[in-house]
Amino acid sequence: MTIRVLDPRLDPEREPLALAPTLASLDGATIGLLDNAKIGTAWFYDHLEALLRKQGVREFVRLRKPDSSRTVPRAMLDELARADAIVSGIGD
């Protein structure tokens, strides 16, 4: 039997990861809210959406993962791609 070990560290030969640029303004923005399917996330996102609407956010893309322990399905990522920024969080 073969055991495969994955090394989670960054490759020192590659370019360092960079943060995405911040939005100049929320006015007219589309924000993605990715719910990880934990019990408190929907409530938190309801509250966050209300706050962001007051800041001028025009549209929201709200999606819920089928399961908190799995990766985001490709179709959901494709839909989130139209957002100017994405909030992905947990809510236990």
The Cα 61–Cα 75 span in angstroms is: 13
Which residues in the chain land under pLDDT 50? none
pTM of structure: 0.78
The DSSP element (H or E) to which 43 belongs, if any, is helix 41-54
Whether 21 contacts 85, CB under 8 Å: no
Radius of gyration of the chain (CA): 17
For residue 65, what are its two tokens? 């993962």
Please write the tens of the pLDDT for every residue from 21-44: 899 999 999 999 999 988 889 899
HSE-CB for 51 with a 13 A CA cutoff: 6
